[in-house]
Every structure is written in structure tokens, then in C-alpha cells.
Structure 1
Amino acid sequence: MNSRKGFCIAILLFGVVQVFAQQPLKLWYKQPAEKWTDALPIGNGRIGGMIYGGVNEDHIQYNEQSLWTGGPRDYNRKGAVKYLEPIRKLLAEGKQAEAEAMAQQHFMGMKSNEATYAVDSAKWFNMMSSYHLPQDVLFHDNNLRTINLPIEQGWEITPGFEGLDGAVWFIKHFNIPSGWKGKNILISLGRIRDIDRTWLNGNYIGTTSGNAYRKYIIPSDKVHIGENRIAVQVVNFYDKGGLTSNAKTLSVYPEGEEKNMVSLAGAWRYQVQDDNPPACPRYNADYQPFADLYLQFRKQDVTDYKRDMDLTNATAHVSYKADGVTYTREYFSSAPDQVMAVHLTADKPGKVTLKVLLSTLHKNYITRKIDDHTLALSLKVKDGVLRGVSYLHIQAAGGKVVVDSKNISVTGANEATFYLTAATNFKNYHDVSGNPEAICRKQITAIATKSYASIKAAHIRNYQQYFNTFSIDLGKGENAELPTDERILKFSQSPDPSFISLYAQYGRYLLISSSRPGGGPANLQGLWNNLLTPPWGSKFTTNINLEMNYWPAEGLNLSACSQPFFSIVDDLSKTGHETAVEHYGAPGWVLHHNTDLWRGTAPVNASNHGIWVSGAAWLCHQLWEHYLYTGDQDFLQKRAYPEMKGAAEFFAHFLVKDPKTGYLISTPSNSPEHRGLVAGPTMDHQIIRDLFKNCMEAAKVLNIDKAFADTLKLKYSRIAPNKIGRYGQLQEWLEDKDDTTDTHRHVSHMWGVYPGTEISLKTPELLKAAEQSMKYRGDEGTGWSIAWKVNIWARMHEGDHAYLMLTKLLSPADVTSGKEKGGVYHNLFDAHPPFQIDGNFGGAAGLAEMLLQSQGDVIELLPALPTALPQGSIKGICARGGFVLDFEWQNGRLKSLQVISKLGKTCRLNYAGKIINIETQKGKNYRFNADLKQL
């Protein structure tokens, strides 16, 4: 082991691996999924499904990668560049609040339908405000449905309220005790999103707008001793609607006597008044769920239930026994045939009987019969231009099949297979002329004559060409035979190294399933989303999250899965050029911290975090990484370098001289999502230096653009350097203003450690300062933040600390208190919380970083091997320079090594301080013993 420090806690908790044996790569459970983060994901890069595995009713919620809100539009604010210099001037004068206010008003990008919304929404709101429900309906109609309030996460999580915006009436009857007679009362409704109009006993008592707390004082003569009736009209324009505080705040009590409160939490009656308000202006579009497939079976008492996901062949299964019959279901999403398959069998003939339905959360949809074996669903996204079509086709052996406009029924079949496909009219970010009906028809026609066995075999062959390039075995722990949800709970208490192997391979599985050549890139939730208003829009966040999705791609031998990432960079370099011109008067291209299907690149959300200029440069870092791993000079020349050069051209123009220090700095910008708009954040400068350095090297490789490279070299030397502050920390900002108690989730100034390379063992003072900053920041965080810390500590060669972070990443997100935290859900999805897939990808990359590093001029073997993983083997891990390595270790020491040279370059190996150089030939293998002696 080459770790500089050890954590006794890690040794005590995880001990020594007991058995060295490869374990089955399966997630499995003894019960169906109860919630979405219990369900198991399948995907072919375009169509993804979440399998619940219920017995009486199975539910498969599915997505198609191109279904989003919004449509093609210009995201840039014309004339914004006029305010660039005034904003810079305000920041230079220390007037951050004024700079942010100016930027918010004049520099942020354009929202959708921003020009017409004010008039349209005012008309709609006036119509809602003039409407009063009749008293008999409002207070006495028992047919009104009920809902439990408050709902802290918004009414969208309540069935029937998904994606609802508009006006809703809520009605509650409550009793006032006789002791309150003659007293004014205070009604506390907590936070309401966005506007309330409130009545008590038919008397109007007030209205409040915004996300403020509602407290209304009611004169005693308006209060009834005994039963009272409160009616609240809630008007919500977008996202989390309703009463959104905790239960304690929803109450009524005599004025000044809060201890005598009567709770208003619990069941309320409601009526939706209008669910079609004008579309609220949005900076970015949201990724959308497509639809739901329901398989309904007759009720049976079952035994021996099991649900699993086999990562080796990307198939999921459910099996159980009922009335002497063993039933099985198999699920997969095929890339070759572009269908999701559900295969139902029983071990006795004539026992497969069920009804199958298609439904969706989208309000505007229909189902219809296509033919005697095919049901279709058509939908249109609210507040957007996209339409979707899904075909469900059945092939049955024996029995009877009936298809009508609502469902498919199967009676007495020996087996049945359902093939589901989905498509939209999206072609690219500026073209929505596609024909989803024709696409679905073509895909179903293509599989109609194929057998299930052949479709499954083609799926597995296609999947395994990616998955089988890599394997890892860390040995078997004492919990290896337990169901996955139980392993999560026990992981921190007893050694389970094979669970870490499973987790790493699960990350690879998710990347293969959500990012395939020819498709789009993995978003914040990969391919999977069940909400019309998903967390953070389930979009592409580019101040770390999109990039983290692809951290494991090169090292864990999934380079081909990066193709969709390269495709979005191609698009963004075009739209980003328009933003560079309109907002900065600059050449090249720029990207801020968020984008979506329509490839907006302008600053969005709020000026205190939305004006972050380094997105393009960070994306370009990963283009260069692909070249370093593959040596693909054609890719470098035709694709990567032009985009790297464009990003560098922007910064060559954008950087300005700081009047106080004389350095070139990035302004305006921010240290992502932390402390507002500033001049000269450390992360920007690290990323820009990396971009300039890589551009210079690429120009040298391609023997072009010497004059431009010389310009970058000069500017590189003048960029504000990394600084060490008064606490011995690496400064996050140009000024020494870090707070040692600050535990913010972003550790942005650590970019130079990972994924950057300028802070390393070769810069010991800076590395020590970075370590000090990491200690101040602490070990807690959200899922993706913890995953980043795994990689940072590994880069620092602190293997035990990196492993400690990995154990936090694998802690249970579902806790008994009901409050989620960072960690993993039952299906091993990463918890931000809620779910974000970047932590899965970052965690897998972090494990690889402990075992091999090649960011310098050598390949380091076991650079950060933790005490808790004293033995293991890995095959197919990749290093920069075009090398693929297989190696094994025992008792914390290297045992054997094989290197495959794909490019024929010089291979420099470093293990335990010993460095050797090997001149290799392309395509040849080289074997070494534990002392790096060639065999």
C-alpha cells in the first residue's frame, strides 16, 4: 500500500477480506419495489425503464431520452454585452450586491415566452381572483377528494397532482374550544407556493404572494366557538405548489398563546379550479417521463419471491410461486432492436393470464388500437413542442389475446412477450420535424418475425461488447449472500468488499444503459425520471455534474460511451458562440452552469451563481482526456481541437488585468454556487490554465497554430496563480477570505487536484494547502460531493481517507427518521438527495483512482490502496498513453501485472517508488512480477 496515512476506523470497521472469489454481479431483493428508488433500472441509451416487480400489478415507468419541455429558441439576451464592463467595475469596487442586481436585470439569459407572460398571466390571475366557489360546494360537498397537508416537497408528489400548476381550493373544518371565546385567533398556514387567497367561515381574511410564511389574525367576532371552516385558494404558477411547510406550522391558536394551538395538519378536501395557467417563463427545459406500463394479474398468495438485476447481461427478473406454479418475468432494453422487452413464463401450460395498460402523467394523451397485437399511446408535452408515440406489441404462445383501444388482455397463454418502443418528433436542437409514429411502426415491424431468444441474444451480445472489457474482484465479505437492501444497511458494520466491486460495475452498467453511441448524453438522472417537475429539471448541469457522469468512461474501459458527450459539446460550441458574442463581445464559445435538450448556453437562474463562465473549458478537458487515453489523432484534429481552440479564444479575449495584482483574472464569475458573483475565482483560473496548456500541446501534436499557441503561452504565465491563505488553506477566491467553518458541498478550488493535474505531489506546498482546505470542508456532503472527495483524496495518495469517503457514499440514504441524506437508495442510485446519477459515476471513478493513476508522466500502480482492500484483481483498467492493464495484489502488495499497449508508446511504470521504462509495440502484451521485472 502506498497510502501516506491510515484511518484506524477503517481498519476496525472493515477488517481483512476473508475469501478471494468473484461474486455474482446482481442486485437482488426479496420483495417488490415500494417506491421509485427501489425499482430497478434498465436502458438501451435511449429507452429506459424502472421495474417495480409487483405481484398483482407490475409497474414499469419508462422514459425516452428526447422527451423534454420547451422547444428551439434563442437563450441569449440581446445587448447584454453593454453591461459587462459596468458589472466588472462594480466588482472591482467591492460592490458585489450592486453587481449582482445589475447582472440579474440585464445580463441573464432569456426565459421562454418572457415577452408575453406578464400580460397573459395577469389576465388569468384576475380570472381566478374573481371566482368564488358556491358555498354548498365549497363547504358541504362530500364528493370532494381529500389530501393530507402540508406537503413539504410540494403537491407534485401526490397522485393526481403530478405536474399540476394552476389554482386549487383547499377546505378544512376545525373546532375552536369554548375557552377561546372573545379572543382574536391567529391562523398559521406556513409557506404557500405561490399565492394564497384565504377565507374563514365565508369571510375573506387575506392574501400573500411569494414563498413567505402566512399568518392571519382573525377578530373574535369572525370566529365560531365549535366548528369553523377555512378555505384557501392556492395559485401556483410552476413547480412545488401548495402548503409546503412542516406540520407544526399549520395551526390555529389564540393571539399570543401559541402553546394552545390546534393543529390544522392532516386531511383537507380540495377541488382543482383551473390547471391550465399560462406557461411560466423558464430559463431551461425539463426532462420528462414518457409513460407507464402496468401488468395486472389475478390476485394470488405467493411464496419464494425474488427480484434481481443481472449486470453481466443487463437483464432483470422476477420469480415467485403461486398455486403450485413457478412464474418468471424477464426484462431488458435492447439497443440493437430499440425495444424494451418483458417476457412472461410459467412452468405449467396455460397459466399466463393478465391485462396490460399504458398510461402517462401527461394530461394530453390517448391510447388506441393499432392492430390485433399492438396498442399505442400518443402524448404531447405541456408547454412544449414535442410529441411522443409508444407502441406496445405482444407475441404469445397459446391462449387468447385481445387488443382494444385501452388495453391488451391475455388469457391462458403458455408464455407472452411484450415489446415496447417509444419515439418523439425531436431530431436535433433546432429541428422537431421527426415522425414518432413512423419510427415506432418501423421498430415493431422489424421485430415482429424475430424470436424472443434471438432478440435477447442480440441484446446481450451488444451490451457485453461494452461491459466485458473490464472486471474487478476485491474478494468476498460476510454479507455477500444477503439481498442488496440488507447489504447497504450492514456495509458500515462489517466487511463486504464484493459490494464495492458490485457498486463499481453498477456504475459502468448505468453508463452503458444511459449513454450509447448515436444517442444523447446522460443527464442529471442518467436516463430515468418519473416526475413532470423533476429535481433541478433533470437537465445537464455543467459546473461539475455532466462532467462527472463521464469520469469513469475512459479509465473503466467505456470510451465508446463518451460519444454522446462529444455530441453535446459539438452542439454547445455552436450555441455557445452566439452567447459569447451577445454577452461578452468575444470570439469562440462559452457555456455557463446549465444546459438542456435545446442547448442553451446563456447564464441562467440567478446572477449570484448563474454567471459562471468555465463550462466550455471543463468540457474541453474531457475531450483532451479522450485523446490522451486513445491517441485518436483524427478525433483530435477534426473534433476536439477546434472546440478546444474556440473555448481558448473566448478566454484569451475574456481575461482582464486585475488592477490590484496585475494578474489576468476571470470576471465576472463565481466559485460554483458559493458566495455569489466575484472577480477571479480560483477554479476558473485552474480550468483556464488547463485549457491553454492542452491547446498548446494539441497544436504541437497537430503541428498547427503556432502563433495562437504562443499567445496562449504568454497569457498562461500571467493568469492569477493558486494562492495559500492565512489558515494554510488553498484559497477559493482571489482574496484570502475562506472560512474554516465552511462545509459547502462544492469544493471547486480542488479542481486543480482532480480532475485537473496542476496540484500534485510535485507541488508539495500547494498539495498541503489543498489538504488543509479539504479538512476544513469536512467529510460530509451530498452524494456527488462525496464522490468528488473520493477522487480528490485518492489523487492525494490518501487511500484510507478516500475509502472512508467511499463508505459514506455507500451509506443508506433511506433512514428511519424519514429524512433523506447523501448515500445510496435501495436500488443503489446515488442520493443528492434526491436522486442524482453523478454520484454513481463519480464513485466508480474514485475506486479506479485508488488503484491506478496516469495523469502524470508515469502509470502509478496502487497509488492510494486503502487498508480495507488488501487483496484483489482488476482486468481492463485503462491508462493514458493507450495502455490497458490487468494486475493482482495480495496483502497490500502488487503480485502480478500485464500491460497491453494499444499505441506502441513508451510505458513508464511506477510502483512503490520504483520506476521502469518499457518501449512497447502496438498490440503486444507485457508481463511483470511484483518487483516490476519483465517476464
Structure 2
Amino acid sequence: MKRRLILLTIATLLCHNPLSAQTLKLWYTQPSKKWTDALPIGNGRIGGMIYGTADTERLQYNEQTLWTGKPRDYQREGAYQYLPQMRQLLFDGKQKEAEAMGEAHFMGRKMNEEDYDKQKAVWFKTISAVKAPGAIAYNDSKWKNINLPTEKGWEVIPGFEGLDGAVWFRKTFELPADWVGKDLILSLGRMRDMDFTLVNGEQVGSVDGADYRRYTIPAKLLHAGKNQIAIQVINYWDKGGLTSNARELAIYPVGYDHSEVKGSKVTDDIAIDPKTGELVKVIKLNGPWKYWIQDNQPPQLPRYNADYQPFADLFLQMAKTGTITNYKRDLDISNATAHVTYTAGGVNYTREYIASNPDQVMAVHLTADKPGKISFKALLQTLHQSVSIRKVDAHTLSLSFKVRNGALRGVSYLYADAKGGKLTVTNEGISISGANEATLYLTAATNFKTYKDVSGNPETICAKQIAAVRTKTYAAVKAAHVADYKKLFNTFTVTFGTGSNDALPTDERILKYNSNTDPGLVSLFVQYSRYLLISSSRPGSKVPANLQGLWNDLLTPPWGSKFTTNINLQMNYWGAEMLNLSGLTQPLFSMVDDLRQTGAATAKAHYNAPGWVLHHNTDLWRGAAPVNASNHGIWVTGAAWISESLWEHYQFIQDKAFLQTRAYPTMKGAAEFFVANLVKDPVTGYLISTPSNSPEHGGLVAGPTMDHQIIRELFKNTIAAAKILGVDAEFSKTLQEKYSQIAPNQIGKYGQLQEWMQDKDDTTDTHRHVSHMWGVHPGTEITAATPDLLNAAKKSMYYRGDDGTGWSIAWKINIWARMRDGDHSYLMLTKLLSPADAVPNHEKGGVYHNLFDAHPPFQIDGNFGGAAGIGEMILQSQFGTLDILPALPKALPNGEVKGIKARGGFVLNIKWQNGALQQVEITSEAGKPCVVNYQDKQVKFDTEKGKSYKLNGDLKKI
């Protein structure tokens, strides 16, 4: 009877829980069609993307330390000798000359830069000597077919993944009778990187670069009937092949224009004579071509940074059992489990997926409601070369490979267990037939140990993990996983109420989103962000969440899927403290410990300065030097900005030992660099940062506003930290003196906050970076206490506009919330929650079907930054007070949050209704004095560590 009462009580609580299981699920009624439909799981180290196809499941997976490259030095010794000259060129208004000098002498070192030219010359001579495939009579009958163009690069085509090298393409076309004797234009669009294009065996053009190809075919090369086009494409790195749109591939007579034809429904099919207006039907070349991969081993192109790599794929080829009905797939973020369920042949099938942190494996558990119905083959595949797949024992399969042109090896073990039926392991895969249920455990590891040490043994790691898990039941593995996850996830809850779209599949909710019908999607988005951080950044992890968190399916991912430190890496952790996941910052701080070492070497080599510096990108190997290009890569405030993350951590958790041993040394080192590196502006006399840039906008300059905002914040926080610790009084005095001399924020001729020292902002500029807003968020110097600057910041935001890439929209959510404009902040949120790919081939900033943020393409910082912005609507604490509902939008009039954290060591439960605060409960974790603001009300009181205090909507104690 007692057990029955307990069960009834639990059922009652679930029925009345506003955060029901339905609201914490992403779910769909069809399998994934593409990677951004798939559902992510992760344990902080290994991550998987579940496609959920009933008959052939694909689980694409990653391991956080699998990157290209190897341990090396990134700094260019002696670069500091050019620093005075670059500064003078900028002072003289010679930006292009300064950028040219920076490009030639100041950028960091590339991998393989010393040997590349010689290697390339030898390779190019060999592959360019092959001319036979260009001949008319060449036999291409054994070649395969490919559809061209491949706008996103040939890497998206099976068999071309990650391909660099030389590829031949061939296609015939029929010459119209009335074109005989005419010169023709062969339009091929962009190619990556070089081509040799032949018509009927004769070369008609060659370009080295990503320019458009429009070659003239002389009439004498053509003949009636079939004519042969042959193209040798030479690609050294990244996107390869013909990468324009289908309209670019065409043939038409010389003198006609195919690019400017307007006002016709058949624009793609016609060209026009600009002089006579005559139209002709073009010969379209898009569609099937024959191809032959001549050579896929070009020398390694010198690269500044390494790329995060996909690991492999697990495929489950299910036995055919009949028509699929009742299909559903879901991701339950309340317990970090994913599922696929369907009915076939009168049997109900279930697949459950987890990524366990305690056991360091991913698991797939397959069941059916009738015995003997589980039959499938499990296969491991990878995009990497030098692959070995072998049987380890009667239950285990191994996959191993080496990253091309790199130091890392990857190893996976796949262990299978079945109840009933037959289990067979061969060197090709694992086969299970007639089982009642089956469980697969998958693990992965590399030889990476530290950014300086690649002597690890991935075979030993995988063998140890599988040996430990194979003695356990799946129920025990799942229970440990769920308990471990819930310890983190259950520290915070949020609801904004329910709506009529709650019951819709997630992809339909996104398409139909508005707050009137679906406020629950906002709370789901916040909790999904927390799920993603738990899944991609765990204590003990060797790297923090990267541009795509933990998930990537491409050998050449967007922006290398690395760590971009001019906002994106920092944004990944904006919500960690506030949303009660403070412990998940540990991988970030571990990376910072390493960057302090490489950054010190870079500060010495490039600036002849003490302390440490970090530019705008880093990777697994902890490079800190300028990369990519001088017009945006020479940006000096990465270390200062990332130091703020450590100071924020201290402010939230109030751990003085952390401040003393981790945060303060990091902050002090970053500050020491700027004490030495700031120089006097010859025009104003202010101290400025130069050379630098306003991230990725406007080129190399002297004195960008953002730099000065960040440096002032760094100096202010370092002084505060030194005072708390009772150390470095003289250094603090130096910082205070420098602080007062740094160029201040300025208001320009349009009433805007200037982005640069010069008043040159353009009111029509809608650039994605709003770098000069740093002083509003995440900085703290532009507030209601500085009304002129705040109004100028608002004008700049209006000029910059409300559209943008996903992460940019997420930043704008935070900025408008900090400016206490909840409705404008919410407007940005609606843009972030809009479908990114509703229009085929025209992606925009928003979210994909699986709620991944779209830059586009996918970047996870928009998920993390967007959730942080929603937190800023509910609670702000950056000024030593707890400001309740400071930017609550009218669209979210009702809600409740539990477990939201504030600086000073406070944890709050907040409830509001009809736009008004109902109750707030404050738990003090550090025993600090508490000041609470709500609208025009304020209350102050002392607190005791561990004690809670309740206030009503009038801030009266209850």
C-alpha cells in the first residue's frame, strides 16, 4: 500500500508539473534528412549525431581531441621589430601599407610553411603533366558520374569528403547548327583552386584562384554534333571543384550576356545580345559529368590553424521487417536520452541512445515487444584514410586511422551484447540476428595528451573503457548516466507557461513560433542550451566547447570548427554561471592555463612585451599568434577578454582560492601586457591600443573602441582582485594611472557611439559584429549611469539593424537586455528562433530543425549566447545588486525560474505573473550583504551562508 501511495504521489506531481516531460523534449515524426536535423548527444568528450532512420541508422560521432596538425610554435620570432613601423604607418593614415607590412612580417607561423613551395612544385609538375584525359578520343567509360556544380564544394558529395588534389571532369555538348562558325563563351563559374579547361582536346583557359571562369571557345575548335569539354581541377585545400550556382554553367555565343537577363521566367536558359535585344537559348552544362580522381595527396598547404575533425560513423543496417508506421524520434533533455520508435511487421521497435560520462561510452539499446525480432548489422566507417577495421574478440570490433598530415591517431571500440539470438563479429562488422534485445557500446580516443604531448595510447584507453562497461547491465549504465546528468541539469528550471503549439513536433513549432501560441519554446531553448553545454564541456575534458560544441561531420568544417576568441568562444560560456552550470567552465580555464604559456611566448616575439597576449583564433595546439590575415588577425585583446571569464567565475562562486591561484595570475598577466603595449596617440595624447582592429570590420587601425573598453574592464577587475587578495598595491596603482589615460568612448556626428577613434561610422553599415557595444555587454561601463553614452549606444544599435548571423542576433539579445529594453531584446529572440532553412538553398541566421543555431552554417555560440540573453531579461547582477526582471518583455508576462545565479554567491527562485513580480527566494551561498532592486523598489539586508530569504512583489520579507 505504501509503495502504491508513493507511485500515486509521483504521478500527481508529474501531472501538475509545468515542466512536464513533453516540454523538455525535441521530437519529430520523420527521420533526419540532413545533419542539422539529427539529434545530438554527448558526454563532454564524445559526441554523436543521431539520424534516426528506421532501416539504416546512422550515428555520426566525434571525439574532442581529434584535430589536424601537431605540436608546434605559432609565434614568429623577431616580429616585434616591425611593430614601430606599422604603428607609424597607421598614424600617417597609411592603412593598406600597414596591413601589407603586417601580412609580410607580423603574422604567426604556418604549419609546413618552410617546405611547401618545393613540395608543391614537384607535385604540380607531376599532375599537370597528365594530359590524356583532355583528348577527344580518351576512353572515360569507367569513370563515375557526379552532378555539377557543387556549390558548397565537392566535399559534400560521397567519395569526395575532405578531398584535396587533382580531379578530371568530362562532358559532351551538342553544337546547334546555327552556331557553327561562331565563337562561344564557356561559362563555368567559380572553381577551387586552379583549372586547365580544354574543348575538343585544346586548352581554352586556365586560372589559378577562385575567380569566375568565362572562356572564349574559338569557332575553329568546334564542329557540328558532339563536342567534348574536359577540365582538370587542382585543389590544394578546403572547398574543391565548381562552386558557383547551376546558372553559371552554360555555353552561349560571344557578344551575348547571360548574367544580366531580366524579366523572363526562363532567365536561366537564355542569353541576350545587349545591342539588338536578340535572345538565344543557352546550352546548360549543369547536371551529370564524368569524373576521375587523379591524385588525392597534394602536399600539405601551409595553414595557420588546425581543424577539428569528425571521428567516424556507426551504421546499423536493420533487417527488413515490413512497412514502417507510428514513427517517432525524440531527445529528452530532462535525462539526456534519445529514442527512435516505430512499428513494422506488427512489432513495436525501440532504440535508445545515451552518451555516458561516468562510463565514457555512447550506447545504443535496441528492444522489441516480441521476442527474437532484433536483427541487424553494425558497421564502422570513417572519412579518414589509412584505416584499419578488425575483430578484437567475439563481441568487439575496432576501427583505427591516422589523421592526414597530422600527428593524431584515432581508435574506436564497438562492443555488442545480445540477449538471445546469434552474435557474430568479423573484420567487416558485427551481425546480430534473432535477438530479444541488444546493446552496443561505442568509445573513441586519440593519442593526444597535452598540446605538447601526443604520446597517448588510444587502443589502451578504448580497451580499458570497454572492459569496464561490459561487466555491467545496460540498466546500470543508463542509471549512472542519468543520475550524473541530472546532478547538473536539475540545478535550474524555467517555464514561461504553456501554449497551443506545445504538442506539435519541434520542427513545426519552429515554423509556427510566436509567444502567444508557444512560450514554452523559449524555455525549451534555454534548457536545450544547458543540455548542449553539459554534453560538450565537462570537468576533466581536455578542450572547451568549440565553434560547433562537440559535433562536426566535415573534414573541412566551417571556420575549422576551432576556438574564435574575438567573441565566439567567450559567448559559449556566457550562460554557464547564471544558468547554474559553473563547474562546466573548467575545460575553458584549463585551456587558458595553456594559453598563458603560448601567449607569453607570442607577447615576447611579436611585441617584446611581458605578460601574455591572445589574438582572434586558437586551436587544439594553443596557438596565440596573429592568424588568417593582417586586416583582422592582428587583434590584441583576446587574453584580456577571456580573463573576464575567470573574474566572472569568481564573482558568481566567491571562491577566494580560485581567485588567488587561477583568476588573478591570468588577469595580471594580461594586464602586464597592456601596461607595456599601450602607446600615446600623437593626435589626442590618449593611450591607445595599436595596431589592432574592431573585430573583422574596418581593417587594421590605431585605437579601436572595443579594445579600450576591454582593457579598462581588465584593469578595473585586476585592481579589484588585487584588493581582495591584499597583493600588488604598486601594480594596482600603475593600472589606475594607465586606466585614466586610455582613450575614452566617443560620440560621433550621427549621435552614435564611435567604433573607432575617428568619426567614420556609416549609418547604413549592418556588419554582424557590434564590437563597440562591448562596453554595454559583456562589459559594464556603459549604463544608465552614463546616459549620453547609453543613448549613443542605442543609436548605434538602431543603425546596425536587427538582422544578422545567429550568434550576432544572440549578442544583440544580451545588449538590448542590458539596455533594459526587454521588448527589443525579445524581438531579437524571435529572429533567433526563426527557421534558418525554410527556403531551400537560402539559409539565414536562426535555428535548424534540431534547434542548432545557424550562422549559417551551424555555430553553437548562438545557442549559448541566446540562452544567456534570456537570463539577462530575468536577472542582472553586474553592479553589485540583484536586479529582478530588469528587461522582462511583454511577450513573456508569466513565468517562473528556479536556480538562477547572481554575482555575490546568490541563487534565486523568481516567479512573476501578468508582468509583475510575485515572489523571489534568495539563497546566500557566501554570506554576503544583499541588495535587491525591482522597478523603483530596493531592499538591503545581511545574509548568512546557506540561509534563504523570501520577498514578495513589494520586496517585503515573507
TM-score of the superposed pair, with normalisation by structure 1: 0.97
**Mapped pair 1:701 → 2:700:** no
Partner of 2:46: 47
Determine what percentage of the aligned residue pairs are the same residue: 65
Shift of 1:474: 0.6
2:305 corresponds to 1:284: yes
User: Where does residue 925 of structure 2 map in the other structure?
Assistant: 902
Distance in 1 (alpha carbons) for counterparts of 2:744 and 2:128? 58
Q: Report 1:885-924 matches (<5 A).
A: 885-924=908-947
Work out whether 1:359 is the aligned partner of 2:381.
Answer: yes
Letter in 2 for 1:26: K
Partner of 1:21: 18
Aligned residues between the structures = 917
Query: Quick one: which amino acid aligns to residue 475 of structure 1?
Result: G
1:306 to 308, 325, 328: 328
- Choose from 533, 536, 551 the match for 2:559: 536
Asked if structure 2 preserves the Cα contact closer than 8 Å seen for 1:150 and 1:265, the reply is: yes
The residue aligned with 2:581 is: 558
The answer to whether residue 892 in structure 2 is matched with residue 869 in structure 1 is yes
The CA deviation at 1:340 is: 0.2
- Rounded to whole Å, the distance in 2 between the matches of 1:784 and 1:592 is 20
Q: Find the aligned partners of 2:137 and 2:108 in 1 and give their Cα distance.
A: 43
- Measured in 2, the distance between the counterparts of 1:529 and 1:636 equals 35
Contact between 2:133 and 2:168, CA under 8 Å: does it hold in 1? no
Instruction: Verify: 1:121 aligned to 2:120, yes or no.
Output: yes
* Partners of 2:514 and 2:486 in 1: CA distance: 32
Q: 1:417 aligns with which of 430, 439, 459?
A: 439
- Residue aligning to 1:843: 866
Distance in structure 1 (CA, Å) of the matches to 2:136 and 2:316: 38
What RMSD over aligned residues (CA atoms) do the two structures have, in Å? Answer: 1.1
Contact residue 672 and residue 748 of structure 1 kept, 8 A:
yes
CA contact (8 A) 2:148 2:246 kept: yes
- Following TM superposition, by how much is the alpha carbon of 1:491 offset from its aligned partner in structure 2, in angstroms? 0.2
Shift of 1:372: 0.2
CA distance in 2 between partners of 1:20 and 1:746 (Å): 41
2:804 counterpart residue number: 781
| Alpha-carbon distance in 1 for matches of 2:944, 2:514 | 45
Show CA shifts across 1:457-502 (max 9, x none): 0001111111000000110011000000000000048521011000
Aligned mates of 1:283, 1:135 — CA distance in 2: 36
Give the alignment of 1:763-782 within 5 angstroms. 763-782=786-805
TM-superposed deviation, 1:138: 7.2
| Letter of the 1:273 counterpart | Q
Alignment of 1:741 with 2:764, yes or no, is: yes
1:833 maps to which of 856, 862, 875: 856
Given the alignment, which residue of 834, 857, 862 partners 2:880? 857
Question: Contact 1:665–1:720 (CA<8 Å) still a contact in 2?
Answer: yes
Counterparts of residues 872-883 of structure 1 (less than 5 Å): 872-883=895-906
Q: CA deviation at 1:21?
A: 3.2
Contact in 1 for aligned 2:127/2:166 (Cα 8 Å): yes
C-alpha distance 135-541 of structure 1, shift in aligned 2 (>3 A): closer
Change (3 A) 1:821 1:138: farther
Q: Which amino acid aligns with 1:164?
A: L
**Residue matched to 1:7:** none
Which portions of structure 1, spanning 4 or more consecutive aligned residues, are displaced by more than 6 angstroms?
135-138
Structure 1 residue 217, shift from structure 2 partner? 1.2
2:293 corresponds, among 272, 290, 299, to 272
State the alpha-carbon separation in 1 of the partners of residues 133 and 621 from structure 2: 45
Structure 2 counterpart of 1:928: 951
Cross-structure match for 2:642: 619
1:206 to partner: Cα distance = 2.4
Alpha-carbon separation, structure 1, partners of 2:517 and 2:877: 29
Amino acid at match of 1:269: K
Q: 1:176 Cα shift?
A: 1.1
- In 2, Cα distance between equivalents of 1:924 and 1:627: 20
Measure, in 2, the Cα distance between the counterparts of 1:845 and 1:779. 18
- Does residue 1:801 correspond to 2:824, yes or no? yes
Cα gap change, 1:134 to 1:716, in 2 (>3 Å): closer
- Aligned counterparts of 2:898 and 2:791: Cα–Cα separation in 1: 33
Deviations 1:83-138 (A, max 9, x none): 00000000000000000001001000011010000000011001111112357897
Structure-2 separation of matches of 1:831 and 1:113? 33
**SS at 2:178's partner residue?**
helix
Partners of 2:890 and 2:581 in 1: how far apart? 28
Give the whole-Å Cα distance in 1 for the aligned partners of 2:381 and 2:423. 20
Partner Cα separation in structure 1 for residue 527 and residue 829 of structure 2: 15
| Aligned residues of 1:20 and 1:474 also touching (Cα < 8 A) | no
Conserved 8 A contact 2:401-2:410: yes
> Is contact 1:48-1:63 (8 Å) kept?
yes
**What is the CA distance between 1:20 and its match in structure 2?**
9.7
* Distance in 1 (alpha carbons) for counterparts of 2:698 and 2:107: 18
Q: Which residue of 2 aligns with 1:13?
A: none
Task: Say if 1:138 and 1:171, in contact at 8 Å, map to a contact too.
Answer: no
Distance 1:142 1:487 in 2: 49
Q: 1:510-568: per-residue Cα shift (whole Å, max 9, x none)?
A: 00000000102000000000000000000000000000000010000000000111111
Aligned to 2:143: 144
The Cα of 1:263 is off from its aligned counterpart by 1.4
Distance 2:70 2:132 in 1: 37
The CA distance in 1 between the partners of 2:756 and 2:324, in whole Å, is 61
CA drift of 1:181 comes to 1.5
> Map of 1:78-97 to 2, 5 A cutoff?
78-97=77-96
The reply to whether residue 592 of structure 1 matches residue 615 of structure 2 is: yes
SS in 2 for 1:321: strand
1:601-750 counterparts in 2 under 5 A?
Answer: 601-750=624-773
Candidates 499, 517, 520, aligned match of 1:495 = 517
State how far apart, in whole Å, the 2-side matches of 1:721 and 1:417 are.
62
* AA at the equivalent of 1:276: Q
SS at match of 1:779: coil
Secondary structure at 2:576's aligned position in 1?
helix
Residue matched to 2:4: none
Quote how far apart the aligned CAs of 1:139 are: 4.4
**Residues 880 and 904 of structure 2 are in contact (CA less than 8 Å); yes or no, is this contact kept in structure 1?**
no
Contact 1:20-1:475 at 8 Å conserved across structures: no
Q: Distance in 2 between matches of 1:593 and 1:425?
A: 27
Q: 1:436 aligns with which of 458, 477, 480?
A: 458
For residue 19 of structure 2, what is the amino acid of its counterpart?
Q
Shift of 1:235: 0.2
What is the aligned counterpart of 1:813 among 804, 812, 836? Answer: 836
Conserved 8 A contact 1:22-1:476: no
Deviates more, 1:680-689 or 1:258-267: 258-267
Please say which of residues 578-587 and 487-496 is displaced more in the overlay. 487-496
Cα deviation, residue 257, structure 1? 2.3
Rounded Cα–Cα distance in structure 1 between residues aligned with 2:474 and 2:906 = 39
* CA offset digits 1:612-667 (Å, max 9, x no partner): 00000000011100010011100000011001000000000000000000000000
1:817 deviates by: 3.7
Q: Within the alignment, does 1:752 sit opposite 2:775 as a pair?
A: yes
> Would the aligned equivalents of 2:136 and 2:201 in 1 still touch at CA under 8 Å?
no
Contact 1:51 1:60 in 2 (8 A): yes
Contact (CA 8 Å) 2:135, 2:201: kept in 1 or not? no
- Structure 2 length as normaliser, TM-score? 0.95
Which residue does 1:6 correspond to in 2? none
The residue aligned with 1:14 is none
Opposite residue 458 of structure 1, the aligned amino acid is: A
* 1:98 matched residue in structure 2: 97
8 A contact 1:860–1:911 mirrored in 2: yes
What does residue range 206-355 of structure 1 map to in structure 2 within 5 Å? Answer: 206-258=205-257, 259=271, 260=280, 261-299=282-320, 300-355=322-377
